[in-house]
Amino acid sequence: MMRSVISVYVENKYGVLMRITNLFMRRGFNIDSLTVGETDDPLFSRITITIKGDENIREQLINQLKKLHNVRQVKLLEEQSSVERELMLLKVKNTPENRNEIMAAAEIYRAKIVDYKIDSMCVEVTGEPNKINAFIEVMKPLGIVEMCRTGVVALDRGSSIMDKQKNKYE
**What is the band of 8 on the pLDDT scale with cuts at 50, 70, 90?**
very high
Supply the pLDDT for residue 159.
Answer: 82
Regarding whether 9 and 73 lie in a shared domain, the answer is: yes
pLDDT over 90 (residue 168): no
Same domain, 44 and 96: no
pLDDT value of residue 167 = 56
Q: Are 6 and 73 in the same domain?
A: yes
Interatomic CA distance for residues 136 and 142, integer angstroms: 10
Q: What is the DSSP string of 34-101?
A: EEEEE-SSTTEEEEEEEEEE-HHHHHHHHHHHHHSTTEEEEEEE-GGGEEEEEEEEEEEE--TTTHHH
Residue type (1 letter), 145: V
- Looking at the domain assignment, is residue 99 inside a domain? yes
Taking the C-alpha atoms of residue 91 and residue 26, their distance in angstroms, rounded to an integer, is 36
CATH classification at residue 40:
3.30.70.260
Question: Could you tell me if 97 and 44 lie in one domain?
Answer: no
Note whether 2 and 59 are within 8 A (CB). Answer: no
Provide the mean pLDDT of the chain.
92
127: helix, coil or strand? strand
Q: How far is CA 51 from the centre of its chain?
A: 10
Domain that holds residue 47: 2-77
163 occurs within a structural domain: no
Residue pair 106/113 in contact (Cβ under 8 Å)? The answer is: yes
Nearest CA among 99, 141, 94 for reference residue 119: 94
Q: How many domains does the chain have?
A: 2
pTM, 2 dp:
0.85
**Neighbour-count burial for 100-111, b at 16+ CB within 10 Å, e otherwise:** eebbebbeebeb
Q: Are 147 and 90 in contact (CB under 8 A)?
A: yes
Mean pLDDT score, 27-45: 92
Burial class (CB in 10 A: 0-12, 13-18, 19+), 9: buried
- Domain at 132, CATH number: 3.30.70.1150
